Amino acid sequence: MQVADTNMDTVNMPGEKNVVTGRKVLAWIIAFFGVVFVANGVFLWLALTSFSGIEATSAYKAGLGFEQERAAAAEQNDRGWQVSADIARSGTGADIRIHARDKDGAPIRDVMFLATFKRPAQDREDHALALSQVEPGVYAARLDAIASGQWLLEIQANGVAPSSGDDLRLFRSESRIVLKD
């Protein structure tokens, strides 16, 4: 009785087309890791070009100003101002109107309101506007071109300190808004 060799690693069957060889395994491994490296490269490029990663230029300096920011927020809260903003899209631009009243409901006059539109993830498209008083307690400005999408709207009111004559921040708020075409 004769025993046939059943070692399939070394025997090529006639007509068999898909034989796994060392070269095929090596090609599959190189192709797999090539796809992984290309995908990682694309994700790395997208991450580096879309977000600078800088929230504060100096975390140390931002930390030093924390107590001042907290005191300014407490003073703002004590003032009790009611400030609201209306934004109306027209064409590629937008009109912004700010209505400002004190805690007694009287219009706030003779302060400088600034509005800054910021993108949430980058600072390349920021738009800053100085608003003009159009009537008592109402300040307005026009932004000629602004893209649609998500924005942070920062509103700040500045005045003059009566005792020193220095510029004083009287109000600051930040809201997330969506502008649509």
Q: Do 76 and 162 fall within a single domain? A: yes
In the block, tokens 């400002």 appear at 100
Q: Do 44 and 76 fall within a single domain? A: no
CA-CA-CA-CA torsion sign (53, 59, 62, 67): positive
96, two tokens: 């912004």
Q: Do 29 and 94 fall within a single domain? A: no
3, two tokens: 């025993």
The pLDDT value recorded for residue 91 is 83
Q: Do 22 and 107 fall within a single domain? A: no
pTM: 0.63
Q: Do 46 and 76 fall within a single domain? A: no
Q: Which residues pair with 172 in a beta bridge?
A: 156
In the block, tokens 């290309």 appear at 38
Q: Do 152 and 100 fall within a single domain? A: yes
Q: What is the CATH number of the domain that holds 119?
A: 2.60.40.1930
Q: Do 87 and 158 fall within a single domain? A: yes
Position 99 in a domain? yes
The pLDDT value recorded for residue 76 is 85
The pLDDT value recorded for residue 163 is 72
Q: How far is CA 102 from the centre of its chain?
A: 31
Question: What's the total number of domains in the chain?
Answer: 2
Question: CA-CA distance, 26 to 22, in Å (whole number)?
Answer: 6
Residue 109 burial (10 A CB sphere; 0-12, 13-18, 19+): exposed
Give the domain extent around 31. Answer: 15-50
Three state DSSP letters for the chain: CCCCCCCCCCCCCCCCCCCCCHHHHHHHHHHHHHHHHHHHHHHHHHHHHHCCCCCCCCHHHHHHCHHHHHHHHHHHHHHCCEEEEEEEEECCEEEEEEEEECCCCCECCCCEEEEEEECCCCCCCCEEEECEEEECCEEEEEECCCCCEEEEEEEEEEEECCCCCCEEEEEEEEEEEEECC
Position 8 in a domain? no
Average pLDDT, 10 consecutive residues per value, the chain (181 residues):
55 68 94 97 88 69 84 86 88 89 88 89 83 90 87 88 76 87 78
Q: Do 43 and 76 fall within a single domain? A: no
The pLDDT value recorded for residue 72 is 85
